[in-house]
A = this chain, B = another copy of it.
Amino acid sequence: MTVLNSAAPAHVSPLKVTPASPLFLREDEIRRGIELLYFGYTAMIRGADAILEAQGLGRAHHRALYFVARRPGLSVGELIGLLGITKQSLGRVLNDLSGRALVEQKVGTSDRRQRLLFLTPSGAALEARLFTELERSMARAYGEAGQQAVTGFWAVLMGLVPPDGRAQVEALQGQG
C-alpha cells in the first residue's frame, strides 16, 4: 500500500509514504509513529553536531542558543521553563556561553532581579550557522512531503504536547 504524495512540489522527486490506514490507532501504526519520531528527531539534531564540536560546545549549548535567538530578551527563568532543566544545569551552560561571549545578560527593566538573555553578534553568527544545518534537513523533508503533509506533521506533534504546555509552544511562535 505505497502511493506517491501528489502534494509534493514538481521539482523534487516525491517521497513515497505508506498512508495511515483507517485503523490508524493499531499498535503497528503507533509504533511506526514512535520510531519515525525517534529517527527523525535524532537525524535532525545530529546535523549540527560537527559545528558544535568544532566550537567545543554540546547539544545543551545549542538548545540554549536556539531559544535565545528565537526570543531575544527572555529571562533565565523562562529559558529554564522551555528547556525543562534545573537552574544549576542551565547555569553551567550559560556560563560557558557568556565566557565565550556568545550570550550576554542584561538586568531586567520591569523586574531588576531578572537577567534577560541576548545573543552577541558572534553568538548570532554561530546560531545562524547551526540553524542553517537544521533548516537543511527540515526544508528537504518539508519539500519532499509537501505542504499538506507539513500541516499534518504540526498537528500530530502539537497533539503530543500535553494541553497545559501548548500555550507555551504557541507563544514561542506567536510574534515571530
| Contacts A15-B158, A31-B70; A25 near B139 (Cβ below 8 A) | yes
Query: How many residues of A are counted as interface, with CB atoms below 8 angstroms from the partner's CB atoms?
Result: 66
**What is the oligomeric copy number?**
2
A60 within 8 Å of B by Cβ?
A: no
> For A162, what are the chain B residues with a Cβ–Cβ distance below 8 Å?
43
Within the complex, what minimum Cβ distance (angstroms) separates A43 from chain B? 5
Question: Knowing A25-B143, A135-B30, A138-B30 touch, does A20 contact B160 (C-beta < 8 A)?
Answer: no
Contacts A37-B40, A173-B31, A173-B35; A141 near B154 (Cβ below 8 A): no
Residues of A within 8 A of B (CB): 5, 15, 17-22, 24-25, 27-44, 63, 66, 70, 84, 131, 134-135, 137-162, 165, 169, 172-173, 176
